[in-house]
Structure 1
């Protein structure tokens, strides 16, 4: 796909797609709860639809009229076994969190995915849940999918110290803990996104968070709720960076989620000298309108506790750093290696093709800027966030064309990304 290049003066207001993490969990909690859960502003991207279809396959009645989704939950005991593997596509969130949900059933389920997902390691979820008397195994005794979950009615509580900061691993354990008999304690390495903890409370569950220690007593029964999903800050990040980097630009993004465990990118932008404004702040639903303007930027160091709060935004932050004055260092980001692709290597390789001064390290990137970017043939590696990052990079290319392979990957989280970009261009068209 030929990307849009050499653009400035981006102007306009966009409604960002719904939060991917909350959309996934709204279906999961709705299926586990008793009663009808109503979901507004659900993200109908491929990954979230994988979660929806997986629970339909397990016998949960779910209706979608195109505006509102209704999940008719009857509790975990009502889930029904299936004879064939459930295909969750490219969704790591679906497969990892469902491992925790299905661990306490009374039947066996096999979860599989596409070629990319089936190369992603699952041991970090399998191991702790198996310590809870779970029985989860990978393909032919490996740590990779297809994953077989033999449901166990006697899940046991445990105290588990997280070796890495991962919301997916934490969430899978918490889902299993809701079914175990007794108190489970999860000790985080660093606080990661807390949507699961907040939604346990929202759905009438009991959970106690003390610093980095999370306490859940099971078994628990959840009650249906109404969920209004805010816009995804991870999707908003691409247009925030576009506004900051393209001359004479101002972009306003409405209803963006600003959960404090997800707003690391806003702090990094401010630390680099970027101009941001938050308005219409809704503290109850944790959302706001964010406006970004063209800015003169400088390098910074990003590492430690902030990394889990911006892990999905690091590819676009790396692009931002290529245009900042001085050096930017990203460290403590080993988690990037086990995303849809090895994002450390993918970001370094593709931006280097375009002329950036960027070096991959064992746990991050070293970026020197500012550097002009040039046309090149690039690839998303089937990773939606790499694909979107490369389109924003292409906006800065004044010399040559940018051709993107596997552009269709963008639809995983932002089906209308390229259309929304067109709305911001001078004259509203390419």
Structure 2
């Protein structure tokens, strides 16, 4: 067992990742690697199938099938949709009858509402928050719940603006947390102001408004991922955006019957980082990646610092996303440090902060990753767990309330490194271990399946020596 650093509770270890590090990339490494579909786009495509204007059958090609997306599939079945398919495509259609989920124990020891669908989203905050928005927009009465960790993550970011638009949402346990019952539809047009820059909060409100054809103004503190905006605009919804405001006029939209999900830039970051950490000649290409500007912060920060990273073969996909190849050449020679001092930049790499810190540990200078206080409310307190992960390699990280200072130039060593059952931290640790000679064991590292089920295979294609091993 290990301990979740945010909540102090034991969690079940998955298998470890064992990495045999080396100084340089082997000559036989593949020069092109393919990563799974984008997790954020996959979530939104699945939820679009629940909107009133969706056709009877929706096919989603290339969906990410990691645990975070799979958590949404039983939830959709409990609401009366069937979801079938494999890694090639998922097919969503209205089912003859819902497939009930077994409820978890009620948080107060009470009874779940009779005759109301119980919808379990496991540990996926995106599935829970966006689903709450869809339910509030369609007027479907349901209970939305999550696992022990998700029950402790904030939901008031989503619930409060929806209630301001007329939705009736009851907290069935701790205020501001899951489980919640959505039992009343949004109906009051107007303006809402989000207290955080969370793309999940903004997306939940927008999906509710689009489902209900409700004009709304969403004010937000910082621009973050805009996959939902791009998708509903591609459906025909009329949006107007400025730096801190999004307007939807309540007009029509039509959900298509086919989605083609581009590859995930957050997952492309790992083979790109491996190439950079090895500081070798040649190049590696990751094709078909979502090049949404609100997702490219990891690459842009490194480009600004001097890394040779380019985008090629760019085009616009059917969901309104820019798609193309990411090409990285050489390594980190000449890169002294990295700096993140803008909130919008931070949000464009929010999932890659552990990986950026790992890369920064190999640089000679002092790096700063700021505007990151939201990371304290992820699967773990990622400022804390990232710092502890890098420190386990012999690096030095100075946490602050809203960020991390990474002190470079120190010799790193292989050993046993905690993954904290957090997929982003574990994958960052395994990637850094590839460039640290010796054998490193990332405890619980197989939690990468949450977002990147093919992580081990992709990194092997790049040239890594990494295996999953069950702990004795």
For residues 324-362 of structure 1, what are the alpha-carbon distances to aligned partners after superposition, in whole Å with 9 as ceiling and x for unaligned? Answer: 121111111111111111111000011111111111110
Are the structure 2 counterparts of residues 371 and 158 from structure 1 closer, same or farther at C-alpha, using a change threshold of 3 Å?
farther
Are the structure 2 counterparts of residues 79 and 156 from structure 1 closer, same or farther at C-alpha, using a change threshold of 3 Å?
farther
How is 1:13-412 mapped onto 2 (pairs within 5 angstroms)?
13-32=32-51, 33-35=53-55, 36-64=57-85, 66-72=87-93, 83=116, 85-150=118-183, 152-153=184-185, 155-180=187-212, 182-218=214-250, 220=252, 222-248=254-280, 250-284=283-317, 285-292=321-328, 293-296=330-333, 297-304=335-342, 305-399=344-438, 401-412=439-450
CA contact (8 A) 2:456 2:466 kept: no
Q: Distance in 1 between matches of 2:270 and 2:199?
A: 22
Q: Distance in 2 between matches of 1:146 and 1:373?
A: 43
The residue aligned with 1:9 is: 25
CA contact (8 A) 1:231 1:255 kept: yes
Q: Distance in 1 between matches of 2:115 and 2:426?
A: 35
Q: Which moved more, 1:222-231 or 1:329-338?
A: 222-231
CA contact (8 A) 1:357 1:367 kept: yes
CA contact (8 A) 1:302 1:329 kept: yes
For residues 278-325 of structure 1, what are the alpha-carbon distances to aligned partners after superposition, in whole Å with 9 as ceiling and x for unaligned? Answer: 222224451222122322121132022211111111111111111112
Q: Distance in 2 between matches of 1:345 and 1:391?
A: 18
Are the structure 2 counterparts of residues 279 and 200 from structure 1 closer, same or farther at C-alpha, using a change threshold of 3 Å?
same
Q: Distance in 2 between matches of 1:352 and 1:427?
A: 22
The residue aligned with 1:414 is: 452
Q: CA deviation at 1:86?
A: 1.6
For residues 79-98 of structure 1, what are the alpha-carbon distances to aligned partners after superposition, in whole Å with 9 as ceiling and x for unaligned? Answer: 99964522211111000111
Structure 2: which 5+ residue stretches go unaligned? 1-15, 101-113
CA contact (8 A) 2:289 2:325 kept: yes
Q: Distance in 1 between matches of 2:466 and 2:455?
A: 14
Are the structure 2 counterparts of residues 237 and 385 from structure 1 closer, same or farther at C-alpha, using a change threshold of 3 Å?
same
Q: Distance in 1 between matches of 2:235 and 2:414?
A: 50
Question: 1:14 is paired with a residue of what secondary structure?
Answer: coil
CA contact (8 A) 2:337 2:366 kept: yes
- The reply on whether 1:425 has 2:463 as its aligned counterpart is yes
CA contact (8 A) 1:31 1:73 kept: no
Question: 1:235 is paired with a residue of what secondary structure?
Answer: helix
CA contact (8 A) 1:202 1:225 kept: no
Q: CA deviation at 1:426?
A: 7.2
CA contact (8 A) 1:29 1:203 kept: no
Q: Distance in 1 between matches of 2:186 and 2:465?
A: 62
What is the count of residue pairs matched by the alignment? Answer: 425
Q: Distance in 1 between matches of 2:309 and 2:426?
A: 24
CA contact (8 A) 1:155 1:176 kept: no
Q: CA RMSD in A?
A: 2.5
Are the structure 2 counterparts of residues 179 and 9 from structure 1 closer, same or farther at C-alpha, using a change threshold of 3 Å?
closer
Are the structure 2 counterparts of residues 29 and 427 from structure 1 closer, same or farther at C-alpha, using a change threshold of 3 Å?
closer
Question: 1:26 is paired with a residue of what secondary structure?
Answer: helix
Question: 2:425 is paired with a residue of what secondary structure?
Answer: helix
Q: Distance in 1 between matches of 2:256 and 2:393?
A: 49
Structure 1: which 5+ residue stretches go unaligned? none
Are the structure 2 counterparts of residues 82 and 57 from structure 1 closer, same or farther at C-alpha, using a change threshold of 3 Å?
farther
Q: Distance in 2 between matches of 1:79 and 1:176?
A: 24
Q: CA deviation at 1:223?
A: 3.0
Question: 1:31 is paired with a residue of what secondary structure?
Answer: coil
Greater relative CO, 1 or 2 (CA 8 Å, sep 6+): 2
Question: 2:59 is paired with a residue of what secondary structure?
Answer: strand
Q: Distance in 1 between matches of 2:213 and 2:313?
A: 43
- Normalised by the size of structure 2, how large is the TM-score? 0.84
